[in-house]
Every structure is written in structure tokens, then in C-alpha cells.
Amino acid sequence: MVADSMLSLYRRTDGKSPYWWLKFVVPESLQAQLGTLKRVSTGQTDKTLARQAALLKVAEWCAPLLASGPPTGAQPERQSEDEPLEPALRTVVLSHELIEELCRARREATMWSAEDDLNGVSFDGLEHEIKGETGNASSADGFASEKHEDAARGDLPPGVVKNATFSDHFIEWAPRLRSVIERGRNSTEFDDVADEAVEFAAVLGYHVRTDDPALVAFVRSLAIADLRAYKAVKAVREGESSEADGFAAVAPAAGSHRLSYLLLQWRANRSRHLRPETAELYASRFRVFIEYLHDIPSRIVTRTHVTRFLEEKVYSGELTEKTANGGYLPALRSVFGYARSVELIDQNPTEGISKPKLSKAERDQQQNRRLPFSTAQLNVLFASAWYAAAAHDVGHSAAAVGHARYWVPLLQLFQNLRPEEACQLEVTDVAVIDGVQALRVEEVLEPVDRDDGHRPLKRLKSVKSAASQRWLPVHQTLLDLDWVEFVSARQAQSEKGWLFPELPRGKNNSDAFGKRFNDFLHKRLQLADVVQYGLRHTWEDERRRAQAHAASTGGAWPPGMYFAIAGRATTEDEEGSAAHYGQGYDLEDMKFFLDQLQFKGVIWPARWSEWVKLYGPLGRDARVRRTAATG
């Protein structure tokens, strides 16, 4: 029951402990005994040893829950020869997988018994064998209600159906099952159906406790399985489908499809009422969830997975509370809600979610991670080894050996690009449009010959939202630093491909660069209060200064211009309903306002053509050749 998705290792950000800490999200079925969440130090600084210690700690927590066997050497109590032997039942804790197993067995049992009845297989003469010489056998689990009579006397539970009484049986039980499915424990029929569910589990050798936290989910799932099987049998008997359709091809269990299939169905049938950009935003956020869980079957997804996903995104600082709870969670709820309404899944894993919340100290610390750079800090960066030293003086990572070292921070500062947007640029993302040098930000999915809808397409390039996909003009300062010359050099090497091919590609194209750049800021430059993403915040402050200056001189920015340049989610706050009409601003108009961001007081690095001769890959190759020639 304890999957990797329920365990996580992390280091404390307050610096109070050098060890790895364990966070254990307790499965729902164990929360009555263990609580909902456990955190503890592993006492290990090595992550491999820490994981071993974490698993031992979880085993220690769960050990009391395991049913202990009889003492060694103890002899089982001898049963009277006159008493029939009863099968030993194994007490179990209901898990999602076990519930699915029991429901699948229930559907098959119902269909098999109905098929035997239709083919003339008779139960006559079995009563004596079932009752035995001493009378009726007692209930196997000890939990079943005494009001349910033995199957041999004719009062069969749902799932064991006699041909002669099928219609009456269906008429009696179908409404009861629907009541339990719709109302759960609040249904007046719940106790009867629960007794049947516990009895059926006992037939398969499982002792289900009536105080199990997942009992309600088990009873509802079994009721759904019964009702589906009844409908299939009824259709066969009434000639509405063939025997193969009814008996050999029972409808697949809800939740057997993978997460990507739920998204495919949602996009095809439920996203029509949404604006295209909103539908795309929801879809992109659900794809992030799929990537997190690796597109597992939807029946396996629980509230624990959703809660863990949101918590990791928030606690790691990747998402703010507002974005996770007000953006990602509604997207998940929309897709899972639709899947539940059309019975692609039996339970919506987003119901009853506890939203992740940061403490005030954590929230303040997270916000401080994205402080803007001051003018002095920018001057320290541009005068440092990052821009004025050979690659080996900066490090041996991919971020140091190519042209990304020079351009990515500048692209973020002048173009307001997110780290991922800057690192994933391709040669074809640079063009001249109506005489204006421009950049393109877009999402690109892995090309396939045929999209079967059963697996998520790999994202080669990603964006935060549909509004982030845009063309924007290149800032004049970048042009002054030889941007066009750099692009021409790359185009001469290849007409396609990455603009910065030295960067490794993976789930996120910016991970390697961001890690090396932030390490350099913190360890080499001792700029502990800023990170790579702070360059976008620096742009935002400079934009505010430019807008304030423009307003004071009567040249205020037009409504929606800022959103168009920054790739924000909506311009509706400034433009009203007009934001949804037309194609937006021309690049020439956008460039006029973008170039108003001057960053006064900042001393820029050497132009790229000079930098690459001294410190870049070309300069390194030239030095190697000179050394070889003189040697």
C-alpha cells in the first residue's frame, strides 16, 4: 500500500538541520490508526542512506497494523469432528486495489451464474450438500447480518442470480443499489448492501471489518459493479445484445483508462463552453499532473496523489498557493468531474482535498526567493566571471560551455522571458516580421504518426498558459549587443534545432541552466537573496517605472500592451470584452514601448562578438589551436 508517491525526502530550508527529512502521506485506509501526515528526521545526510532509513521508519509505524499469527509452537484449537470446517479468513485493510479486485470478481460471478442459468445449469439437489448433515452452515466472517438467509434456501445475494427469479431480483435490488450509489451511508439501504458486500468478501477469504475507513467506498463500488452486471444480463435476456456482448464482454471497470484518456475525452466533449485559451490552460495543467504521475490508470489515482502533487509544487516554491489552489486544482476538478459524470471513473479524487498552505514565514521566504535584482547586483553579475572569464572558470556544466551563458540572463531581463521560455528557443523562433526583429514563445508537442489518445504526448517546449504563446519584438539593447550576429551564426550552422544546443533536454529544458546559474549567484557572488527568476521581477519593476514616466508625460501605455509583451493570462482587466477581439498589437507598436525600459545605471557586458572571442566556445577553440601551434 505504501507507494513511492506517498513518501518524500526533503531538506529543511531554515538551516536548522543538515539531515534529510521524511514526509509520509498516510494512505486513507490507514489514517484512522496513523493520522494523515507524519514528518521525521532520518538522521542521514546521504540521500541513499536517508531513503533506507525512511523506509525502515515507515515499516516501524505500520508494524502494529499487521495481524500477528499464533505463538510459535502453539497448536490450533481442535475443532469437533461434527462441526464443518470453515475457511480461515484473513483480516484485511481495504485498499483501492483490493476493492477493485473484489468488484471485478463480483461482476464475473454475476455473469457466470446468469450464463449457467441461461444454459440450463441447475442448482437443484445442492441444498443438502450445502446445509450438510447438521443443518445450515454459519456465516464465514461473523459480521454478516442474521437477516440474510443462506443462498441454498433461495434468498440469494446480488451477484448470484437464478434464472426463474431474475426479473423479480432485478426489480427488487436495482433501486436499492442506485440508492447506495447516490447517497452512500445516508441511504436507508446501506446496511443491507453492506452486509452483502462483507459476505461476498468472506466468500473470497477476506475478513473485512465493519469499521474500516474505506467501507463506504467498497460498498458503493460493489453496488456499481452489481448494477452494471444486472444491466448486461437483462440486455441479453431481452435480446438487446448478443451473448458475447453480455457475458463475455462485460463493460470495463470504471477507471481502467489512463489519465491521458480522461483528458482526451474532456477536451472533446466538455471544454466547448470554455474560451479556447482557458481550455488550453486547463489541459496544460492537467498534463503537468500526468507527467507527475507518469500517466497511470485513473482507478489508482486517489486524493493522496492530488494532495501530494499540489503540496510538492507549493512547498518547493515551483507554484504559489494562489496558482496551485486557484489554478491547478480547478483544472483537475474539471477533468475528473467530467470523467465521473460519464462513469469513466467511480470516484472523483479531487473531492475533499485539503489545499496546501504555507506558514507566514514560509510564504515570506518563498516570495523573497524572487526578489528583483538591484542595479548594483546586475553590475556585479555583468562584471563577474560569468561574463568575463573562460568557461572552466565558471564550471563544467552545460550552462557554462556555450552561448546560453551569455544570452539567457539577458533574454530574461529584456524580454521578460521565463527560464523555460528562454532555454527552449529554437532557431526557427527568431524571425524578422514587418521589418522588426522578433522572438516566438510557443508550446510544441512530440510529433507522432498517429495519436491514439492513450498516452500523453511529450512536451518538447512548454508554456505556462495559452496567453504565454506569443511573438514579441527584440529589445534594442539586445540588438546593440549583437543579437542578430549571434542568430546568423547559429543559422549558418543549422537552419533548425535549438538556439542553445549545449543545454540538456528533459522534463524541463531550463533545469540544468537554472541550477548552475543560481549556484553561481549564491556561492561565487554571495547574492543570497536573488535567483534566476528574479530577472523577470526586475523587468516588472522597470516596466512600472516606464509606465509611470509615460503617464507623467502624457504618453501612457495603451490598455493591454503590458499583457501582450509579458504574455500574461488576460488583458480583460484593462481592455474589457474588447480583449477577445482582433489579433492584438503590431510588433512595431510593441517595440516602441518595450524599448522604453532602459535600466539606467546598469553597465552591460561586452558585445557578444567580442565576448565569444575572449571567453566563449569560439575563443576557447582558438586558444586551443594557438597552444597546439606554438607547442
What confidence tens digit (pLDDT) does each residue in 606-625 have? 999 999 988 877 544 444 44
Q: How far apart are CA 475 and CA 416, in angstroms?
A: 10
Cell numbers linked to 403:
552561448
Q: How far is CA 390 from CA 331, 396, 397, in A?
A: 46, 11, 13
Q: What is the pLDDT of residue 131?
A: 36
Give me the pLDDT at residue 134, please: 36
| pTM, to two decimals | 0.45
What pairing do the DSSP bridges indicate for beta strands 20-25 and 444-445? unpaired
Q: Among 4-8, 428-432, 486-490, which is the least confidently predicted range?
A: 4-8
Compute the mean pLDDT over every residue in the chain, rounded to the nearest whole number: 75
Give pLDDT, residue 85: 43
Q: What is the pLDDT of residue 70?
A: 43
Closest CA to 534 of 380, 416, 403, 383: 416
Collapsed DSSP state (helix, strand, coil) of residue 565: helix
Q: Which residues pair with 448 in a beta bridge?
A: none
Cα 513 off chain centre by:
24
> What value does the CA radius of gyration of the chain take, rounded to a whole number of Å?
33
Rounded to 10 deg, the angle between the 329-341 and 259-269 helix axes is 80
pLDDT at residue 126 greater than cutoff 90: no
Q: How far is 138 from 120, CA to CA, in rounded Å?
A: 29
Q: Distance (Å, rounded) from C-alpha 425 to C-alpha 413? A: 16
pLDDT confidence of residue 119 = 45
Mean pLDDT of the region 140-164: 40
For 140-159, what is the mean pLDDT? 39
